[in-house]
Structure 1
Amino acid sequence: MSEEDRGLENPAPAAREPVFLLPGAVTALAAVMVAVHLASTYIFNQETMLHVLFWFAFQPLRIIAAESDLSLAIPLIWTPFTHAFLHGGWEHLIFNVAWLAIFATPVTRRYGAGPMLAIFFVSAAAGAALFAATTLYSGAYLIGASGGVSGLTGAAVRFMFQPVIVGRHPETGEQIVLGRRLAGFRDILRDTRARTFIAIWVVLNAAVPLLPLLAGYDVQIAWQAHLGGFFAGLLMVGLFERKQ
């Protein structure tokens, strides 16, 4: 049998395509959110869920309550971050996971898992801070990953609209794609697509408090977390940019 015949009979195994095209850190973060919601929906009873919300949702009223009992403020150490893993329903969860997949993926591929997670958690805390500033005496509590994912959106805006940089391989001389540069704030203001994206984001979220007047019923959207998280990510992503 010739070499050609043996090659036809035993072709080289095809390379396996990954089941998930998302970076591992993004998949893991989404999986934790889904696992927490599954437990909240199918395992925890109502009493347990109230305890979960009490200890892990972000409640700005704790700041006021601490004046009479300092121990009530202790969960404020972790709840600005843990609230991101709790969701009010499957629609809320699915929207945030899809949003996470879209914007966390380019941030992770550019900077790595650590910086992506840092942006996510700092942005979640920034969103919680703005939420607290606007709802301090209302007794409202904050849950959902919107602030963290908004921060990843703000981070991605700094480079996703920029032109691709093409260079040459130092050994072969072939053209290679080097990526997209991180835009400065002046560059963002000059870029029509980035400027329009940010303007739409701000206007839509700033308009949320007016929706009850237009729709005739209360709309439970934490617009403060969206705005606070978005601008936190927009500002801090430059800390992770590698010097060329």
Structure 2
Amino acid sequence: MSEQGSSPEIIPPAGREPVFLLPGAVTAMIGVLVAIHLASTLALNPDGMLQLMFWFAFQPLRIVAATADPMLGVPLLWTPFSHALLHGSWDHLVFNAVWFAIFATPVTRRYGSGAMLAIFMVSAAAGAAFFAATSLYTGAYLIGASGGVSGLTGAAVRFVFQPVIVAVDPETGRRVVVGRKLAGLREMWSDGRTRSFVLIWVALNAAVPLLPMFTGAEVAVAWQAHLGGFIAGILLVGLFERRS
């Protein structure tokens, strides 16, 4: 809920509780992710899966290849976004779906489904850009919703830790909860809970490339996409805040 306005919330009559408490857009998006992974798992053979990744995963090497043959770069028009709809395993999908449900829900309730999807997709593209900046010549490819979900995390962290705003209804004189303030960038740093969340989240992702030094094995986590998406979400959410 936005903090704008001061009219009391209308409470509907008591009735049957909904089975799913997630906003419709959040449930629908999770359904799309599950349907795509289920269809690709059941319908595609190994060659078909390779073609799916070739055309819809984000591959930074295409940027280099496009300098020699522009046609090789055509999928770059959609793969910064389409990669967020693909997953490498059911574990990968379930983790991202749970993460998506947690952070997309408050963003959707505050700004609506259109804003939530915009933040998700733009953050996915920002995550792809960060991924490309660090893996341009490696031949690696990026799939998964985590960059977009990281953007929703960054968006939510700007208001979920803020105090509740209470206004007085001009007609009844009753005190009414109207929402939470969207913290500015300086306010995020001055608030202890927000600052701790951001620092821990950034530190955990920044530590991923150091793990092979201790485990001796590569970790298949696109930490660059997480960081890029998170920063994008923090910056983007202000565009959707209603001003009085």
Q: Which residue of 2 aligns with 1:7?
A: none
Structure 2: gaps (5+ residues): 1-12
- SS of structure 2 residue aligned to 1:159: coil
* TM-score, normalised via structure 2 length: 0.93
Partner residue of 2:72?
A: 72
More contact order relative to length (CA 8 Å, sep ≥ 6): 2
Shift of residue 167, structure 1, vs aligned partner: 1.0
Runs of 4+ aligned residues of structure 1 deviating over 2 Å after TM superposition are: none
Pairs within 5 Å for 1:42-57: 42-57=42-57
In the alignment, does 2:207 pair up with 1:207?
yes
Aligned to 2:241: 241
The equivalences for 1:69-108 within 5 A come to: 69-108=69-108
Q: Cα deviation per residue 1:165-206 (whole Å; 9 max; x = unaligned)?
A: 011222222211111000011111100110111111111111
Per the TM alignment, residue 14 of structure 1 is displaced from its structure 2 partner at its CA by 6.7
Q: Once the two structures are superposed, what CA deviation does each residue of 1:104-144 show, in whole Å capped at 9, x if it has no partner?
A: 00000000011101100000000000000000000000000
CA distance in 2, matches of 1:219, 1:164: 40
Task: Tell me the distance in 2 between the aligned counterparts of 1:38 and 1:174.
Answer: 51
Letter of the 2:233 counterpart: G
Letter in 2 for 1:55: W
Per-residue CA distance 1:58-94 (angstroms, 9 max, x = gap): 0000001112111010000000000001001111100
Alignment of 1:1-244 (within 5 A): 15-244=15-244
Deviates more, 1:31-40 or 1:166-175: 166-175
User: Aligned-residue CA RMSD in angstroms?
Assistant: 1.1
Q: Which runs of 5+ in 1 are unaligned?
A: 1-12
Deviation at 1:44, TM superposition (A): 1.3
1:49 to partner: Cα distance: 0.9
State the partner residue of 1:8: none
**Distance in structure 1 (CA, Å) of the matches to 2:28 and 2:194:** 29
Letter in 2 for 1:16: R
2-side partners of 1:154 and 1:165: how far apart?
A: 21
Looking at secondary structure, tell me which structure has more helix per residue: 1
- Distance in 1 (CA, whole Å) between partners of 2:156 and 2:76 is 29
Larger of the two Rg values belongs to structure: 1
Distance 1:42 1:177 in 2: 48
Q: Percent identity?
A: 70
Matched length: 232
